[in-house]
Structure 1
Amino acid sequence: MPKSPHSALALSLTLLTLGCSESAPPEQSPPEQNSTVPEKSATPPATVASPVSGTLRQHPFQPDQAILRDGTLEIRQGTDFFPDLAVEIVTFEPDSLAGRTLTADITPAPHLRLGYKAPDANLPDTEMVLSGYQLQLSFGEAQPLGLPYTLSLSVPEHGTKLSGQGLATFLDIALKDGNIDRHWDSFDTLDYLAQQHLAQSAPAMALGERFGVTLQSFGDDHPKRGVIGFEVTDDKGEASTLKVLLRKDADGWQVSQQLDADQLPQAHQALPASDLSDRTRDGLLAEQAAARHLETELNREGQMPQVRASRVSCRLTKDRGRASCHTTLGIRSGDDTQCEIRSHLLSKTGGEWQVRKSIANDQQVNYQSGELEPYRPFTPSCE
């Protein structure tokens, strides 16, 4: 599951199990662009000498991430959507905390939320603490990615005693040995890596609005992939777009390709050499074939430079010989983004997927027979 617990939109996302007749996972949409995205010159902080550790609600606590947003410092252990353990310190100080020291004696006193998720539980149990605790929380000077902090916290009634130092990031990223943790699944991780890549590959380009940000995470048998697009302006003032494709491998998230305005991301996503079931691989190849056909179609119509979002979903037959693929497009028109769906029937001949014809948006192949049948499509999201 993507580690995007701090985006408001993430709460509405649901991961599905890949069905035998579905080839591609739903892509997830990120929150609106964060104004704290690091500049091109941003560098990771130094390694923390004495990281925060201790006991939280009578359980050993060694956090994976600390994040500071809107005056709340959350320190969390665990990489799932809901952390295994977490302490949130609500400071009631939405403005800069750089150089500040907070204690339990100030007014208003910080509130604490102590969360614990049992191994067999789906949701954490959270204790709210308003008094009866000792706290010393000091923040250093702001760094490009966040604020250094030193913590000493004792809540005897709830079996909690923590101390140490850390860096509370402004973004939903995690740090490891002083560098960004490429294994952390979040939109901000992808955004950070994409911007770092473009700072080297296209230093003359000025980055503008971000668009089409997606992160696919769909079980162990499906590659994790991401896309981030940017409005860009070159040194001559010419406006265009760039799209950065990312993939996750054993070393974490990596930039795999950089695409131009006339390229559709799903037409160029590279597949891993192995570790995919035959059905998953066929589904991804069908998705790629449909996207390549549509890329040619959109360029011929002159619409490809206006595409700001795309999602391809293919349904395969039982024998993996036919597929119906539905592509949802977000096409920029003035200040608005218009939603459009294009659907195609594909068949596999000699191991290659080919688009045979366009079909109605409310048609799909029957899993058993391969014949077209009606179905009720989901309401598309084109942002």
Structure 2
Amino acid sequence: MDALLIIGGLLLMLAGLVWLVMRAFGTSLLWGWGSLIPLLTLVYVLRHWGRARSAVALVGLGMIPLVVGLTLLASKDADRLAAIIRLDWLKPEVQEPPELAIELRGRLNGQPFRPQQGELIDGVLSLREGLDFFAQRELNIRLPQPVSGAVRVDVLPQDSGNLPEVELSWLLPEQDLPEARRLSRGYTLHLDLQPQAPNRLAGEFHLVLPPRFKTSLSGRVELYSDRLRYRGAEVDRHFDSRDTIAHVLQDYLQRRFASRDVRELKVPPFSFEGDRLQLQVEALIDQRAERLPLRLSKRDRQGWTVEGDRFPPLPAETPAQPLAQSETPPADEGLARPADRRQRFSLARLQRSPEQYRNLRMRLSKASGGTVEGRFVGVDVDGSILLRQQMGSGGGQASFSFKPQEIGRLELLDP
């Protein structure tokens, strides 16, 4: 409605100006040419008001729907109105660089195929041309099983067995739903993709289908390996996907429970219909099953966040300290040992002199996440650190064994 009012007002004003110029030419040829200059047009209106007032009234009449339309537009979309006033619509449109470097030559169903989106997730390789719900043209290749890391697939027309399934789909201008074709053998396929940080696969892609499909593609592709997006080294929390929500929840639970051991995160089905989500989340945290109702909101600066999240970040993981072969304890270390043994405690010192720390309380943080607290028992024959933990008031005990490479940090709790 606002656009119709603005356009209608502009057309009335334009008609009034044309009528004013025609009246000026009717007065004299000199006034007619002079009225094409805005300043002389104003002079003509003042000198010949009787002849010009009808045209001026039409211009004024056109200003009414123009002002009303601009007011409605400002109330609904102030940014769009500001862009119109700045004349942004006259500036050439700047083409943003594509997210993925996809360089394919060839045709799909006899038409040029220039995909803008690509991914290889859960064993399904997808290339899409078009950003609507139904792609203008799309190619899907379902591998026999999900893959991780580098991907290499070679299929020849005479091959048989459990082969990837190829699916083509395209949407014609006169159609509401796309057409699709599938085949599971009789084609040529070559994939050689290598992982690239943080979540991409890139490499060679060649596909030749039987002549009736009119499809032959060759070149290099770049694909996402999950549905996360990154800004530099950080996950972009503004991107709407289940992987983004799972990442936000994983980070929140780790900080809330002060533990990196968060596994088997279960998120119920949901859809991105607004900027708020209410979810019932289940996870296994430090071997305990937790079920939490959480609310998430999407903010302009932070992106998706859990409401009420004020938990501090986890401390940085400390790498395991290697055993220094050249370090030898002094001969009188047992006599000159400081009163507080925590000051000089390290994994290397524990491995050299385990008897000095026997039965003392220690806290061990695993490199893969999680902590264990107990009393030091000794060092096994293969170099493993042995801890014993008292289980409740019933007198039961649990023993743990950790190899040095599994240890992220080891702290002595008793002096």
**TM-score above 0.5:** no
TM-score (norm 1): 0.41
TM-score (norm 2): 0.38
Larger Rg: 2
Higher relative contact order (CA 8 A, sep 6+): 1
